[in-house]
Amino acid sequence: MPAGSLRPSPALQEHYTPAADAQKEETPVAGRRAGDAISGGVDGSIGEERAEVKSMPKEDRTAEGSPASKRVIAYIDGFNLYFGLRSKGMRPYLWVDPVALVESLLHPDQQLIGVKYFTSRISGGNPAMEKSERSRREAKRVRQATYLDALMTVPRLEIHYGHFLEKPERCRSCTAQWLRSEEKKTDVLIASHMLTDAFERTCDQSLLISGDSDLAPPIGIIRDRFRDHRVVVAFPPDRYAAELKRFAHAHFEIGAAKVRKAQLPDSVRTASGHELRRPTEWT
């Protein structure tokens, strides 16, 4: 195992084969870069048996062999999903309905308790920026604000916010300076909610929509402490993390057709009667 990589607890050793994982990671795949999604079949379980999975596993079994429970809470990494869609050229589908998307991934015998959407509000430009850059940033801020306001009308959806931290950076060659925005606290919030819901027995299955490997530790803790709790990872398009695959009970990639069919109406009306329309850049 590479230095600094996550080690599973003893209770997870039966699901973890470091030699096999090392062999997989050292084998180059033509045309794949870090963060690329996997095409074709995906693992349907932690063990050696492989199966193609396009949605939440229907006949999962707990470690004791009893049928899997039905209550599901979904946790969506908003920016991971957003950038995955953008990198796959799916900008027209950024107006996605998170609850409709999750429902399309479940089987009829699985009950959706709720969807938790995690993001951070971006800021507009500041006076130190060039006018064109300020205008570009403000347009992005307005698009995101419109989308988040539209999401607030969706039943069974909770929105949880982190924040952005702007760090000054300087080019060592030309001494040019700029501000780099870095999202903070989102992964911590997702981990906290997943662990809290597992400890409080709010759900029996967790569906994580993200390709962020930093979320592997909470999955490991849940598997260690709650052997009857299932954690399934749904990778957004063009997003993948070997650590998440290694610790989840099952994983799959969300297909473009699922996202295309799970769109908000072009026009959404808030409780106060204000009309929100899909941004023209997302059509």
Among residues 210, 240, 239, the alpha carbon closest in space to that of 86 is found at 239
Question: CA triplet 157, 224, 162: central angle to 5 degrees?
Answer: 35
Q: What is the pLDDT of residue 212?
A: 96
Architecture of the CATH domain 73-282: 3-Layer(aba) Sandwich (3.40)
CA distance 77 to 209: 6
CA-atom Rg of the chain in angstroms: 20
Q: Is 278 left (phi over 0), alpha (psi -120 to 50) or beta?
A: beta
Between helices 216-225 and 186-199, what is the axis angle to 10°? 10
Reduced to 3 states (helix: H, G, I; strand: E, B; else coil), residue 138 is helix
CA distance 73 to 205: 7
Q: Please tell me the pTM assigned to this model.
A: 0.74
User: Domain map of the chain by residue range?
Assistant: 73-282
Q: What is the pLDDT of residue 14?
A: 43
Cβ within 8 Å of residue 10, ≥6 positions away:
none
Residue pLDDT, tens place only, 51-71: 334 566 655 544 444 454 489
Kindly tell me if the per-residue pLDDT of 86 is higher than 60: yes
Residue pLDDT, tens place only, 156-167: 999 999 865 566
94 touches 147 (CB < 8 A)? yes
CA distance 37 to 237: 6
